[in-house]
Amino acid sequence: MNIARRTFLKLTGGAGALTAAFAAGLVAGGQAWAATWNKAGFESKALADAMKSLGATGATESKDITITAPDIAENGAVVPVAVTSKLPNTQQISIIAEKNPFPLAATFDISGGSEGYVSARIKMGQTSDVWAVVKAGGKYYTARKEVKVTVGGCG
Amino acid sequence: MAEPMKIRATLQGDVADVRILMMHPMETGQRKDDKGEIVPIHFIQSVVVTHNGKTVLDTQWSQAVSRNPFLGLRIKGAKAGDKIGVTWTDNKGDKRTDEATVAPAS
């Protein structure tokens, strides 16, 4: 596989202009769908930065958001987390594991027809709070729950 | 290339309970293999769920989602026989789409 790739690079490397055009095409194609991916948010290393990338700085806490996650997760590689939002017009739900190397784990954009509920499994490096950030009616709300991790799942 | 997803959609009243299991290594880019070399980062970046062709959930994921990711959601106003489509795209541009129909309540 690797040898084939090298040969390919050598061959196309000769025709510089052609390679450049080809590469440009690839990059453009890649960006088209990557544009919506919250790169800044997923690469931020602190909770505050992750919140900022979502535009959720200063979000209010809400009791209408329920996080369903175990109190103690024995295996940090698989922590089931479900978020239920009873807030009207829930548009977006994000899950953040505060002490992960990259805290923001997932963002779910909900469009009409889907309930304010998502469930997924995430990795957690160590015991920390799991935050749910919910966007409803243009405003942001949060809730959090501590999950104790026995064996970290990031190594 | 990629293995097929497992999609279960069951009707509960007028809400479809959808459960999706994807087959993906979800490498974090922090794990090392037996030789001590870092395993390159490889994870699903986006998952789009459609109900009869209409997008109901558009997700963005990071490498913090577990291996062989599970996704659960509920779709309002669904009927038995409705089509649920799921498409994921990973950071290497690999894609997979699978479809399932909503099963009536049992």
Distance from C-alpha of A102 to C-alpha of A50, rounded to nearest angstrom: 9
Region of residue A113 (phi > 0: left; psi between -120 and 50: alpha; otherwise: beta): left
* Chain CA centroid to CA A83, Å: 14
Residue B45, φ and ψ in degrees, nearest 5: -95, -35
Q: What is the pLDDT of residues B37-90, one digit of tens each?
A: 888 999 999 999 999 999 999 999 999 999 999 999 999 989 999 999 999 999
Q: How far is A6 from chain B (nearest CA, A)?
A: 18
Helix (H) or strand (E) holding A45: none
Average pLDDT over residues B15-20: 93
B14 CB neighbour count, 10 Å cutoff? 10
Interface ipTM: 0.88
**Domain segments of chain A: what residues?**
2-34, 40-151
Tell me which of 2.60.40.2470, 3.30.1490.20, 1.10.30.50, 2.60.40.10 is the CATH number of domain A40-151: 2.60.40.2470
Q: What is the pLDDT of residues A78-122, one digit of tens each?
A: 999 999 999 988 999 999 999 988 999 999 999 877 889 999 999
Q: Hunting for tokens 């957690």 — which residue is that?
A: A124
What is the extent of the structural domain holding B96? 6-101
Residue A101: its chain B contacts at CB < 8 A? 30
Residue B57: its chain A contacts at CB < 8 A? 108-111, 114, 118
CATH (domain of B78): 2.60.40.10
Question: For A107-133, what is the HEC assignment?
Answer: EEEECCCEEEEEEEEECCCCCEEEEEE
Total domain count, chain B: 1
B99 CB neighbour count, 10 Å cutoff? 12
